[in-house]
Amino acid sequence: MARTCVITGKRSRVGGGYSNRTRATKFNPTGARRRQVNLQKKTLFIPELGKKITITVSAKGLKTMKKRGAFQTLKAAGLI
């Protein structure tokens, strides 16, 4: 399975690795590097279902679940 957040859909991205010295001289570029998402593997107890589920979610997705509630967020994401 790809490293993707089940709630927000975030995944890794490729970004430039330029330093300030490279910008100043336009010499010796460092190239691109992959920026990984801050993914956490969490086990949640859902009282509405009466069971535990394990999901891989980003830190932003955790904040979303805390704000809206786990059951409603996972239902909107199509996991329940």
SS (H, E, C) the chain: CCCECCCCCCECEEEECCCHHHHHHCCCCCCEEEECCCEEEEEEEECCCCEEEEEEEEHHHHHHHHHHCHHHHHHHCCCC
Each residue's pLDDT tens digit, 27-69: 666 777 889 999 999 999 999 999 999 999 999 999 999 999 9
Please check whether residue 62 lies inside any domain of the structure: yes
User: Distance (Å, rounded) from C-alpha 7 to C-alpha 47?
Assistant: 19
Q: How far lies 80's CA from each of 2, 24, 68, in Å?
A: 20, 52, 15
CATH number of the domain at 39, please: 2.30.170
Range of the domain at 42: 13-76
The structural domain count of the chain equals 1
pTM of the shown model:
0.73
Please check whether residue 63 lies inside any domain of the structure: yes
Please check whether residue 6 lies inside any domain of the structure: no
Each residue's pLDDT tens digit, 58-75: 999 999 999 999 999 999
